Amino acid sequence: MSAVITRFNLLENEGLEALDAYEPERLVYRAEGGAYLNLMGLHLEPLPDIDEGKIARLCRVVRGLAFAAVDGAQSGHPGGSSSKAEQVVTLLASGAVAFDARHPKNPGRSRMVWSAGHCSPLAHGVVSLIYEALRRGGFTLSGEDARAAVYPEQLARFRRWGGPSGHVESEYALADTSTGSSGHGFSAALGFALLHRSCGLDTKVFVIAGDAETEEGMSYEARNQASNLGVGNLVVTLDYNNFGIDGPITEAMPSPYVNHWFAQGWNIIEVDGHDIRELAYAYRLAASGFGAGKPTVVMCHTTKGLHYGRLENSADSHGTPLKHDEYVEAMHKLGFPIPGKQGDVAADLAVVAGALEEPESAYFVERLEAAARQIPAEADLVKQMETALAGRAMADYTSFERPATLPPELVFKEGDSVPTRKATEAWFAWAMKNTAFFYVGAGDLMKSILTGKAESVYGVINKDNVLGRGIRFGIAEQNMAMMSCAMAQDILPGGFRPCSAFATYGVFTCMMANAVRMTLINNDVNPQAPAFFIMLAAHDGPETGEDGPTHHGLFWMSLFTAYPGIKVYKPLDANEAIEMLFHAAKRGEPVAFSVVRPGVPVLKRGNGVPAAREAVNGAYVFKAFRGNGKPKKVLAISGGQVMANTLEILPEIEEQWDVKIVAVTSPQLFEELRRNDPAKADAVLAAEERQYVVTLHNGWPGFLYPFLLPADHQERALGMDRFSRSGKPDEIYQNAGFDAAGLKKRILG
C-alpha cells in the first residue's frame, strides 16, 4: 500500500479486505483442535494380517444376518446397522481391541459402548458371527459366559420375548453398557475410560456411534470433558452417513461437521467407512496413541443403509424395514439365495449362516485369537493397579462395615443444629479413605453441596493428577450422571467394584433422570454387574427460599420413587444420614439421597426415641401413643424441619389427641419392610392405624401416600403442592402453612 493506513472503517465495503492486507494477523479464521489426519484415498500399503477380501465377505454375512433379523421382526434399525458393518468387523480384526470371545467379560478386555444402541441388528449379527465361527471349530460357551453369546438361529426371535434385544444391552459380548438413548454412550464411555486410567490401567474404550448423536447436548458435555481431561484411551468410531431419523443432520447442525469435534480438541482421523484398509490403519493409529493426550474420533464417511434396496442412502433406512418382497430382492443381490417365505426367517438365517465359508470362518477365529492375546493376565493387571494406587485401601464399597463405634467425625451432637449436607460431607471423606475405588463430584456446586472434603483426599482428576478421585464436571448434569453411573457399572480386574457419588440440587435432578433410568435398566438386564451410586439431591425442600421456585426442591423425588431399582432416602437429621449411607453401601442398591442446606436439629434419642439406626427401616416410631383415652392421631413426618416445627406444637396437639409420631426416612424402604418383615412394619404402623394418619412432608404430598388409605390422599396428605415464591425459608414455611402455627391449624382442623 502506498500510504500508511492509521484508521479503518470495517463497516465500509472492502474495509475488512484492507485490514487483511495491512495487518493480516488481526483477521484470522482460527480453529484449534487435536491432531488431524485424512486417510481418504491415500495410497496405503496392505497390512499383512488384514485380509481385506475375507473381511469384506464377513461383512456381507453380517449384513445378511442383520437384514434377515429385521425382516423377521418387521422392526428394527437396518440403516445404521448396514453402514457400520465394515467398521465393527474391521475393528475386531484390526488388533486394536483386546477381547476374548471365549471369556467375553474378561476384566482385562477393552470396553465397548454402542452409543448407537439402536444398531442392535448389527451388534447381534456380529456376535452371532463370532459364535458361529467358534462353534464350527468345536467351541461353545458355558456357564455365565454363555449369557453373552448369540447364535444365528436365535436372530429369528429378534425383538421378541426371550430373543435378542431390540437395543443393545450389556449382558451380551462386545457391549459394556445398555444403550438406546442417543448420545448417552459418549458419557458412559468417558466414565469407563476415566475409571481405568485413574486406576493405572491402559484399557482402551471404543465407542460405536452415529453422526446424529452429536446433536445431543449430553454428547457435547462428554466430548468437552474428555478433551479437557486428556483421556487418550477413548476412541470413537463414528458413522458419518449424514442422516438421522427424520432427515439430513444438516437440518439441525449448520456448521461443518468436523468442527463439532475439532473445536473441542479431539484428534480426528477421516476415512472411507467402507474401506477396510483405511479403517484398519485408523484403528491401529488411534489405539497406539495417535495425537498423544487426547481422545480420538475415527470419522467414517459411509452410505446409510448400504445394500438395503430402495432405502439405501436415505433417512428412512434408519428404522423402516423393507417390504418383504423388496427384502428378498435385496438379499438376492447380496448373493443370498434365501427362500424368502414370509414368516420363515429361520430358513433365511440358515442360508446366510451357511454362506460363511471355512476360509473366512478360520480367518475370523484367528483374528479373534489375536484379540484375546491382547489381554494381560488378570494378576498382572491387579499388580499394576496396586502399584499405581500404592498407599490406598485396595478394597471396594462391598467391604464397608459400619464400625461398632463410629469415628468422631461421623457422630453429631444431639441438640445441635446441623445441615444434613455436613453428614454426607463427612461420610464421603470417610469412604474415600477406606476404598481406592470411590469417585465424587458435583455439577459446579462443590462449595455449596460440600463434596470438596472428599475430593481433596486424593485430589481432583486432571491431566496432572490422573489418579485423583474428585471430578469437576462443570455445569453438565447429564454427562455427570451418565458418566458417574457408568463408572459404577464396571467391574475392575480383581473383582473390585467402583462406586460413585454425584451431586446437584434436588430441583435439578430431573435433568439426570434419563441417565439414572438407563443405569437402572442396565442393573436389571445384567445383574452380574449392578451399579451402586449415590445421587445426592442437595438443598431439598423450600430452604433455598431466596432463590425462588427455580431452586426449591419440592417435587424432584416424584421421578425417582417411580423408577424400580432406586430408592429415595430422606434422613431427618445428620446422624440418620450417616446410618442410611452405611445401609445403602451394604445393600449396594442405588439411592437418591436428600440433604438440606440449613441446620436442622440433631434429634435427641432415648426416653422412648429409638436410635438413629432405626432410620434404615424407612420409618420408625418416634413417639408412641400415650393411651390416654383421647381420639387417636398418627403424624407421619418426613423432613427434619417439619419434625422440629411439629415438636414445637406437640403439647398443644396432645391436649385434644392421643398422638403417635412416625418418622419417615424412605417410604420405599418401609414398603420393603412390610413385605419382608410384616410384624416389624406393623409395630411401626399397623393397618388399623392408617385411618388416623395425617402425613406431613415439606414437598410433594405424594411422597407419603404409602402411609395413607387411598381415599385419604386429598384430605390428609399435607405437603407443598404449588410452586412457591422467593422469600426467607421461615416466610415460605409460613405461607405454605408449614410453620408451627400453620401445622397446628392444619392438624387440628
pLDDT 10s digits, 172-186: 999 999 999 988 999
Q: In this structure, are 349 and 245 located in the same domain?
A: yes
pLDDT of residue 389 exceeding 90, the answer is: yes
| DSSP code, position 391 | T
DSSP string, 44-112: -PPPTT--HHHHHHHHHHHHHHHHHHHHHHT-S-HHHHHHTHHHHHHHHHTT-----TTSTT-TTSPEE
Higher pLDDT, 259 or 304: 304
Query: What residues form DSSP beta bridges with 364?
Result: none
How does pLDDT run across 312-361, given as a tens digit for each residue?
Answer: 999 999 999 999 999 999 999 999 999 999 999 999 999 999 999 999 99
Residue 176: all three cell numbers together: 459394556
**Contact assessment for residue 193 and residue 130, using Cβ atoms and an 8 Å cutoff:** no
Q: In this structure, are 569 and 476 located in the same domain?
A: yes
Q: What is the mean pLDDT of residues 489-503?
A: 98
In this structure, the chain runs to a length of 749
Does residue 271 belong to any structural domain of this protein?
Answer: no
Helix, strand, coil fractions of the chain, as percent rounded to 5 = 45, 15, 40
Q: In this structure, are 167 and 291 located in the same domain?
A: yes
pLDDT of residue 446: 93
| DSSP code, position 243 | B
Q: In this structure, are 466 and 570 located in the same domain?
A: yes
Confidence category of residue 29, pLDDT binned at 50, 70, 90:
low
Q: Which residues of 91-116 are buried (b: 16+ CB within 10 A; e: fewer)?
A: bbbbbbbbbbbebbbbbbbbbbbbbb
Q: In this structure, are 588 and 669 located in the same domain?
A: no
- Give the whole-angstrom CA distance, residue 536 versus residue 398: 20
Does residue 262 belong to any structural domain of this protein?
Answer: no
Domain boundary among 562, 594, 626: 594
pLDDT of residue 25: 81
pLDDT of residue 53 exceeding 50, the answer is: yes
Write down the residue that cell numbers 476384566 correspond to. 107
| DSSP code, position 610 | P
**Contact assessment for residue 511 and residue 557, using Cβ atoms and an 8 Å cutoff:** no
Q: In this structure, are 628 and 736 located in the same domain?
A: yes
- Give the whole-angstrom CA distance, residue 630 versus residue 658: 5
Residue 726: all three cell numbers together: 422467593
How does pLDDT run across 57-82, given as a tens digit for each residue?
Answer: 999 999 999 999 999 999 999 999 99
Q: What is the mean pLDDT of residues 291-298?
A: 91
How does pLDDT run across 125-157, given as a tens digit for each residue?
Answer: 999 999 999 999 999 999 989 999 999 999 999
Q: What is the mean pLDDT of residues 511-519?
A: 96
Helix axes 85-93 and 120-136, enclosed angle (nearest 10):
40
Q: In this structure, are 202 and 84 located in the same domain?
A: yes
- Give the whole-angstrom CA distance, residue 646 versus residue 696: 9
pTM (2 decimals)? 0.94
How does pLDDT run across 352-380, given as a tens digit for each residue?
Answer: 999 999 999 999 999 999 999 999 999 99
Q: What is the mean pLDDT of residues 30-51?
A: 88
CA dist list (Å): 70 to 248, 313, 374 = 23, 18, 34
Does residue 674 belong to any structural domain of this protein?
Answer: yes
List the one residue out of 480, 526, 494, 520 whose CA is nearest residue 175.
526
Does residue 270 belong to any structural domain of this protein?
Answer: no
Q: Which residues of 477-509 are buried (b: 16+ CB within 10 A; e: fewer)?
A: bbbbbbbbbbbbbbbbbbebbbbbbbbbbbbbb
Confidence category of residue 31, pLDDT binned at 50, 70, 90:
low
Q: What is the dihedral of CA 290, 86, 99, 148, to 10 degrees?
A: 140
How does pLDDT run across 416-471, given as a tens digit for each residue?
Answer: 999 999 999 999 999 999 999 999 999 999 999 999 999 999 999 999 999 999 99
pLDDT of residue 1 exceeding 60, the answer is: no
Element (H, E) at 617: none
- Give the whole-angstrom CA distance, residue 183 versus residue 116: 8
Confidence category of residue 30, pLDDT binned at 50, 70, 90:
low
pLDDT of residue 2: 44
Cβ count within 10 A of residue 727: 16
Range of the domain at 353: 50-255+283-295+302-375
Domain boundary among 561, 594, 627: 594
Does residue 461 belong to any structural domain of this protein?
Answer: yes
Sign of CA dihedral 15, 31, 269, 213: negative
pLDDT of residue 632 exceeding 70, the answer is: yes
Confidence category of residue 164, pLDDT binned at 50, 70, 90:
very high
- Give the whole-angstrom CA distance, residue 213 versus residue 186: 9
**Contact assessment for residue 612 and residue 639, using Cβ atoms and an 8 Å cutoff:** no
List the one residue out of 685, 565, 554 whose CA is nearest residue 618.
685
**Contact assessment for residue 272 and residue 306, using Cβ atoms and an 8 Å cutoff:** no
CATH number for the domain harbouring residue 481: 3.40.50.970
Residue 419: all three cell numbers together: 445441615
Q: In this structure, are 362 and 404 located in the same domain?
A: no
Quote the number of domains for the chain. 3
CA dist list (Å): 624 to 221, 607, 620, 662 = 51, 11, 10, 8
CATH number for the domain harbouring residue 628: 3.40.50.920
Does residue 269 belong to any structural domain of this protein?
Answer: no
- Give the whole-angstrom CA distance, residue 603 versus residue 614: 13
Query: Between β-strands 658-664 and 619-623, what pairing exists: parallel, antiparallel or unpaired?
Result: antiparallel
Does residue 237 belong to any structural domain of this protein?
Answer: yes
**Contact assessment for residue 291 and residue 226, using Cβ atoms and an 8 Å cutoff:** no
SS3 717: strand
Q: In this structure, are 573 and 646 located in the same domain?
A: no
Mean pLDDT, the chain, rounded, equals 94
| DSSP code, position 263 | T
List the one residue out of 559, 617, 616 whose CA is nearest residue 592.
559
- Give the whole-angstrom CA distance, residue 455 versus residue 431: 11
Q: In this structure, are 421 and 351 located in the same domain?
A: no
Q: Among 16-25, 326-335, 501-510, name the one with the lowest average pLDDT.
A: 16-25
pLDDT of residue 604 exceeding 70, the answer is: yes
Q: What is the mean pLDDT of residues 196-219?
A: 96
**Contact assessment for residue 541 and residue 698, using Cβ atoms and an 8 Å cutoff:** yes
Q: pLDDT > 90: what percent of the chain?
A: 85
- Give the whole-angstrom CA distance, residue 379 versus residue 475: 39
Q: In this structure, are 655 and 733 located in the same domain?
A: yes
Q: In this structure, are 506 and 419 located in the same domain?
A: yes
SS3 442: strand
Sign of CA dihedral 108, 368, 55, 146: negative
Does residue 385 belong to any structural domain of this protein?
Answer: no
- Sheet of strand 533-538, all strands in order from the earlier edge strand to the far edge: 470-472, 438-442, 499-505, 533-538, 591-594, 567-569
pLDDT of residue 668 exceeding 70, the answer is: yes
Query: What residues form DSSP beta bridges with 623?
Result: 661
